[in-house]
């Protein structure tokens, strides 16, 4: 299996790029899908009964409801680190806004530097500066009406040098994940990391003092084995326990009530039973997601069709469970040695995320997030590159929603 590993680089101690890590060896098995629910039972009165956190803030409740309903008509388009990662270091507006005139509907951030061992909470500390920048970006996105989502490239608990399994010894790979579970040698270490996450999330506030909702997707792409929490390094039961512990600790022990929790494997699953094999349960998940780079890696319509079938599977599950469904990461990275694919956005990606192949039209995804741009490569074109028009066409399709066509997400409809 070929897996792409692109390391974190600290460039001039000012620009960070966490590069997507995803399998491009998708299964060729036929996708088996259970029929979706006939009707959507979600109402403004019963919404909390379908959420992880029955005590969620009103803005978080509204975000869940509005994201679930959004998929009937629109798909929110977002990008990781959109306010800080620019192709060719061309700063200012997000690259999406440079191209389209609108910011993305969704901003992706990461807890990586916030929880880094070198973050000493001092103003002159580079890692703390990144924490402050992340917080500032989240607040700016919320003020604009955007949706905020967080991943967590948590470094392994032994040396805290890397989140990649390839950088660990065989013994470390075999023991690291289990060690963070309750009773494990690194459970207290993990709780301290969660304490930091809780502190930051509990202090994300809008202009009126309200808590800013975020979508949090811990231990993502777990079906692959490029991260130390990957399938080769923990059992299904241990994975579920770690996910459940994470949610329970943040929600119940730390009293954090402005989080929606996302479950986001990579693209290996083609059957519902397999997709759910490490699922921690409906009480722990708000968003059913999938990261998928491999099916879109210059595979044309064949790859788009594979991706579409998997998204239909997730959409059907989300309909039956009354959860949100999403393409939590994707993209095709263009660089000096990897040219754009003609009509990648407007034909292949748009078809995969909007064509439901005869299923109920409500079976669709609520958002799609592209990975971050960098100085030398990009997932989303700014206005100056050869496939800029392709993205602009994609962004103006009927189901596409940048910020300029995103409805109010933090208020329940009257």
Residue 12 is classified by DSSP as T
Q: For the chain, what's the residue count?
A: 414
Q: Has 221 been annotated as catalytic?
A: yes
Three-state DSSP class for 211? strand
H or E segment to which residue 151 belongs: strand 147-151
Q: Are the C-beta atoms of 293 and 20 separated by less than 8 Å?
A: yes
Residue 81 is classified by DSSP as T
Q: Are the C-beta atoms of 260 and 215 separated by less than 8 Å?
A: yes
Q: Rounded to whole angstroms, how far apart are CA atoms 383 and 207?
A: 32
Among 250, 322, 410, smallest CA distance to 47 is for 322
CB atoms within 10 A of CB 264: 26
Per-residue tokens: 18: 């966490």
Select which of 131, 156, 221, 272 is catalytic. 221
Q: How far is CA 285 from CA 3, 13, 18, 146, 390, in A?
A: 27, 36, 25, 21, 34
Q: What angle do CA 85, 195, 209 make, to 5 degrees?
A: 70
Q: Rounded to whole angstroms, how far apart are CA atoms 182 and 248?
A: 12
Catalytic residue numbers read 221, 329
């Amino acid at each position: 299996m070929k897996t792409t590993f692109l390391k974190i680089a600290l460039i001039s101690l000012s620009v960070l790029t966490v590069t997507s890590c995803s399998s491009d060896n998708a299964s060729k098995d036929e996708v088996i899908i259970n029929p979706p629910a006939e009707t959507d039972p979600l109402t403004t009165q019963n919404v909390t009964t379908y959420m992880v956190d029955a005590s969620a803030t009103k803005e978080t409740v509204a975000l869940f409801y509005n994201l679930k309903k959004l998929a009937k008509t629109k798909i929110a388009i977002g990008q990781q680190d959109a306010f800080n990662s620019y192709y060719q270091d061309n700063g200012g507006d997000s690259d999406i806004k440079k191209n389209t005139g609108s910011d993305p509907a969704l901003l992706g951030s990461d807890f990586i530097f916030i929880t880094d061992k070198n973050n000493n909470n001092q103003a002159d500390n580079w890692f703390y500066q990144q924490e402050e920048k992340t917080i500032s970006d989240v607040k700016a996105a919320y003020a604009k009406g955007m949706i905020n989502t967080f991943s967590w490239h948590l470094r392994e608990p032994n040396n805290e040098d890397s989140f990649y399994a390839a950088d660990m010894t065989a013994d470390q790979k075999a023991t690291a994940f289990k060690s963070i579970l309750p009773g494990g040698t690194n459970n207290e270490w993990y709780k301290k990391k969660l304490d930091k996450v809780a502190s930051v999330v509990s202090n994300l506030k809008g202009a009126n003092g309200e808590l800013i909702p975020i979508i949090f997707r811990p231990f993502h792409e777990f079906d692959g084995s490029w991260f130390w929490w990957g399938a080769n390094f923990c059992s299904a039961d241990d994975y579920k326990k770690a996910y459940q512990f994470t949610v329970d600790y943040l929600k119940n022990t730390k009293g954090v009530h402005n989080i929606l929790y996302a479950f986001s494997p990579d693209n290996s699953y083609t059957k519902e039973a397999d997709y759910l094999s490490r699922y921690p349960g409906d009480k722990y998940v708000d968003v059913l997601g999938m990261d998928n780079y491999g099916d879109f890696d210059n595979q044309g319509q064949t790859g788009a069709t594979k991706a579409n079938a998997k998204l239909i599977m997730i959409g059907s599950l989300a309909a039956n469970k009354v959860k949100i469904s999403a393409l939590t990461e994707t993209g095709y990275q263009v660089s000096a040695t990897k040219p754009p694919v003609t009509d990648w956005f407007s034909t292949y990606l748009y078809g995969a995320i909007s064509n439901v192949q005869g299923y109920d039209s409500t079976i669709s995804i609520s958002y799609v997030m592209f990975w971050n741009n960098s100085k030398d490569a990009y997932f989303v074109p700014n206005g100056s590159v050869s496939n800029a028009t392709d993205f602009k066409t994609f962004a103006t399709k009927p189901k596409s929603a940048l910020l300029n066509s995103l409805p109010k997400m933090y208020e329940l409809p009257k």
